[in-house]
C-alpha cells in the first residue's frame, strides 16, 4: 500500500489563456512546473460527466460527490427536472409523490410559505421548480401561498436578479396566485458558517415581518439595493408585503432548494420557533431532520472514503469551515457518516468577505496537515481542500482572485513538499472551475458563477513511489494517462486506488492510468 494525498483546488479550472482568466494572469510557478513535468490530463466537471443535464455548470457538492463516489450519479437536479417535466408520471412524477400530495393537502387548509433561492443557476435551486409548484398549487385549489425569496448573484451574474424577479412576478400576475413577502441575499439567508447574525435577517423577515428596507414590489426591491451598490448576493432583507407580521401557527413551509448545506441554518432556526408547522423539503437536508422529503436520497456504497477505511487505512479530511460538508458529507456519498479511522481537522474561515481576505486560511491548512501527521504518523490517505480560487472568485473582484490563486500555488508547494518528504504520492485536481473564467468575453460583464471549463489532474510523485513511472521527468504521454476529452471526475477514485495498490470496486468507473 502506498500513501496518497488527494488535494482538491476548489474552483481551479483550465480556461482560455487571456485576460478573463485569473489563473492565467496569476504567477503560479509551482503549478506550472508540475503540470509540465509530471503526468497530467484534464477532466470534465460539469454536465453529463457529473450526472447533471448537458450544459449545466458543476459545483462543489456534485464535484466532491463524484470524486468520492468513483462513478457518475444522476444528480438531484436531473431527477427533479424529470419529475416536473412529467408531473403525472406514475413512477416519478411530482404529483404522484406521497409527500408532495401531503404538502398540497396541507396547503388547502392553511396558506403555505415557500422559501428558496430565485435562480436558474442549478447549483442550489432552479426557479423553474418554484414556477411549476405554483402552477400545481393553483390548479389544485390551494390557499394563496407566501413567497420568501433569496437572491443569488453568485451562481448567476451579480445583478441578474431583477430579470428573474420579473419572470416570477409575471407568473404570479398571470395566475393571480402568490404573495411575495420579501427578498434577502444569499450571503445572509444561506450562510453555512454559523454566522447566525446573517441568518437572522431572513429569519426575522419570515417570522416577524422585520426587515432592513421596504419596497413596493420585488423588482423595486432589487432596484433599491442596486442603488445602494448591493449585488444580488449581498442584498439586505427587504420587505414587500405590507401588513405581513410572520408565519402563523400550523402554516406549512416548503423549502424548494434541492441542495442541503446552505439551508440548514435557516431550517434549524425556524424549527426551533415553529414546532407546530409542518416542514417539507425537496431533498433530505440532514438525517436528523424528520421532515417529509419529496426526493429521497439515493443509496451509495463503496465510496472512496469507505474503501480506504475497509482497508484499515487511517485517513484525514482537512478544509476551511466553508468546505466542511464537501470533504465529509458529499465526499462520503451524501451521508452523515464518519468511517473508522477517519480523522477531521478543519480551519475556521475568516469572517470578512473573501474578496477582502483572498489569502483566506490556506497557510493554516498546511500547518494543520503537518500537525495532524505529527500526531498520526500512520496516516495513509488525506483529502485536502484549498478553497481560495472558488470562494474569492464568487465576489467577482479580479485582483483578489489573482492573489487567491497565487496564494494557493505557494501553499500547494508547501503542502506537496511536506507530504512527499513523508512518502506520499500527491494527486492534485479540482472539483469545478471558477477563477479561470471571471469575465464574460461577449459582454465584458463580471462573472461570479462557476465555469464549464475542464479541471486539472496531476500525479505528483517526485519520489517515484508509483510503479507506473517510466523515467524521472514525465509528461502525459510517458505515463499513458487517458487523454479523452470526455473523461470526468468519476475516474479519479479508481486512479487513486490503483496508485495506492488497493483493489478497485467493480462499480467504479475506469481509472485514468492505461
User: Can you tell me which residue has the cell 487505512?
Assistant: 313
Q: Cell triple for residue 207? A: 417570522
**262 among the known binding-site residues?**
yes
**10 among the known binding-site residues?**
yes
H or E element, residue 109:
helix 98-109
Q: Is the CB of residue 345 less than 8 Å from the CB of residue 315?
A: no
**259 among the known binding-site residues?**
yes
**361 among the known binding-site residues?**
no
**261 among the known binding-site residues?**
yes
**450 among the known binding-site residues?**
yes
**394 among the known binding-site residues?**
yes
* Alpha-carbon gap, residue 250 to 240, rounded angstroms: 23
* Alpha-carbon gap, residue 346 to 321, rounded angstroms: 6
| R_g (Cα) of the chain, nearest Å | 23
**198 among the known binding-site residues?**
no
How distant, in Å, are the alpha carbons of 19, 39, 47, 480, 493 from that of 484? 27, 14, 16, 12, 17
**467 among the known binding-site residues?**
no
State whether residue 162 is helix, strand or coil: helix
* Alpha-carbon gap, residue 129 to 120, rounded angstroms: 10
**491 among the known binding-site residues?**
no
Q: If you write DSSP's letter for every residue of 382-419 in order, what string do you get?
A: EEEEE-HHHHTGGGT-HHHHHHHHHHHHHHHHHHHHHH
SS3 string, 13-33, reads: CCCCCCCCCHHHHCCCHHHHH
Q: Which residues are catalytic?
A: 60
Dihedral angle at the C-alpha atoms of 190, 336, 288, 292, nearest 10 degrees? 70
**124 among the known binding-site residues?**
yes
**186 among the known binding-site residues?**
yes
User: Can you tell me which residue has the cell 430565485?
Assistant: 118
**323 among the known binding-site residues?**
yes
Q: Is the CB of residue 240 less than 8 Å from the CB of residue 216?
A: yes
Contacting residues for 439 by C-beta, under 8 A, at least 6 apart: 19, 20, 398, 445, 446, 447
* Alpha-carbon gap, residue 132 to 465, rounded angstroms: 55
How distant, in Å, are the alpha carbons of 75, 196, 292 from that of 296? 12, 28, 9
Binding annotation: 10, 60, 124, 154-155, 186, 192, 259-262, 323, 390, 394, 431-432, 450
Binding annotation for substrate: 124, 154-155, 186, 192, 259-262, 323
Binding annotation for Mn(2+): 10, 60, 390, 394, 431-432, 450
Amino acid at each position: 500500500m502506498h500513501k496518497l494525498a488527494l488535494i482538491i483546488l476548489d474552483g481551479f479550472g483550465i480556461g482560455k489563456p487571456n485576460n478573463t482568466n485569473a489563473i492565467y494572469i496569476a504567477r503560479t510557478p509551482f503549478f506550472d512546473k508540475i503540470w509540465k513535468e509530471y503526468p497530467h490530463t484534464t477532466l470534465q466537471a460539469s454536465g453529463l460527466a457529473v450526472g447533471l443535464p448537458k450544459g449545466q455548470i458543476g459545483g462543489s457538492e456534485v464535484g466532491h460527490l463524484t470524486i468520492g463516489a468513483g462513478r457518475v450519479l444522476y444528480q438531484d437536479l436531473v431527477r427533479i427536472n424529470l419529475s416536473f417535466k412529467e408531473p403525472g408520471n406514475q413512477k416519478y412524477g411530482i404529483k404522484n409523490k406521497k409527500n408532495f400530495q401531503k404538502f398540497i393537502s396541507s396547503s388547502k387548509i392553511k396558506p403555505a410559505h415557500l422559501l428558496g433561492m430565485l435562480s436558474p443557476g442549478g447549483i442550489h435551486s432552479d426557479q423553474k421548480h418554484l414556477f411549476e409548484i405554483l402552477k400545481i398549487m393553483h390548479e389544485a385549489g390551494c390557499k394563496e401561498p407566501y413567497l420568501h425569496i433569496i437572491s443569488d448573484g453568485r451562481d448567476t451574474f451579480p445583478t441578474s436578479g431583477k430579470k428573474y424577479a420579473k419572470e416570477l412576478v409575471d407568473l404570479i400576475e398571470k395566475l393571480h396566485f402568490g404573495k411575495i413577502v420579501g427578498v434577502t441575499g444569499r450571503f445572509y439567508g444561506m450562510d453555512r458558517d454559523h454566522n447566525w447574525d446573517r441568518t437572522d435577517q431572513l429569519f426575522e423577515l419570515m417570522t416577524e415581518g422585520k426587515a432592513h428596507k421596504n419596497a413596493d414590489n420585488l423588482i423595486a426591491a432589487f432596484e433599491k439595493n442596486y442603488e445602494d451598490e448591493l449585488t444580488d448576493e449581498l442584498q439586505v432583507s427587504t420587505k414587500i408585503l405590507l401588513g405581513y407580521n410572520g408565519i402563523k401557527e400550523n402554516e406549512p413551509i416548503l423549502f424548494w432548494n434541492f441542495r442541503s448545506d446552505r439551508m440548514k441554518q435557516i431550517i434549524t432556526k425556524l424549527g426551533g420557533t415553529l414546532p407546530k408547522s409542518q416542514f417539507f423539503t425537496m431533498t433530505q437536508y440532514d438525517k436528523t431532520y424528520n421532515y417529509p422529503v419529496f426526493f429521497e436520497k439515493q443509496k451509495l456504497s463503496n465510496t472512496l472514503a469507505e474503501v480506504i477505511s475497509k482497508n484499515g487505512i487511517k485517513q484525514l479530511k482537512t478544509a476551511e469551515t466553508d468546505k466542511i460538508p464537501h470533504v465529509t458529507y458529499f465526499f462520503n456519498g451524501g451521508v452523515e457518516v464518519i468511517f473508522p479511522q477517519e480523522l477531521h481537522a478543519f480551519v475556521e474561515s475568516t469572517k470578512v468577505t473573501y474578496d477582502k481576505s483572498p489569502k483566506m486560511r490556506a497557510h493554516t491548512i498546511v500547518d494543520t496537515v503537518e500537525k495532524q501527521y505529527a500526531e498520526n504518523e500512520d496516516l495513509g490517505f488525506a483529502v485536502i481542500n484549498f478553497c481560495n480560487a472558488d470562494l474569492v472568485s464568487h465576489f467577482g473582484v479580479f485582483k483578489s482572485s489573482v492573489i487567491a490563486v497565487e496564494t494557493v500555488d505557494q501553499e500547494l508547494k508547501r503542502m506537496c513538499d511536506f507530504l512527499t518528504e513523508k512518502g506520499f504520492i500527491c494527486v492534485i485536481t479540482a472539483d469545478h472551475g471558477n477563477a479561470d473564467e471571471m469575465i464574460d468575453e461577449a459582454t465584458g460583464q463580471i462573472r461570479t458563477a462557476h465555469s464549464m471549463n475542464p479541471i486539472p489532474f496531476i500525479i505528483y510523485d517526485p519520489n517515484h513511489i508509483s510503479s507506473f513511472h517510466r523515467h524521472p521527468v514525465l509528461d502525459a504521454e510517458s505515463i499513458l494517462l487517458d487523454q479523452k476529452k470526455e473523461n470526468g471526475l468519476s475516474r479519479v477514485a479508481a486512479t487513486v486506488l490503483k496508485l495506492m495498490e488497493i483493489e478497485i470496486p467493480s462499480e467504479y468507473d475506469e481509472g485514468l492510468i492505461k
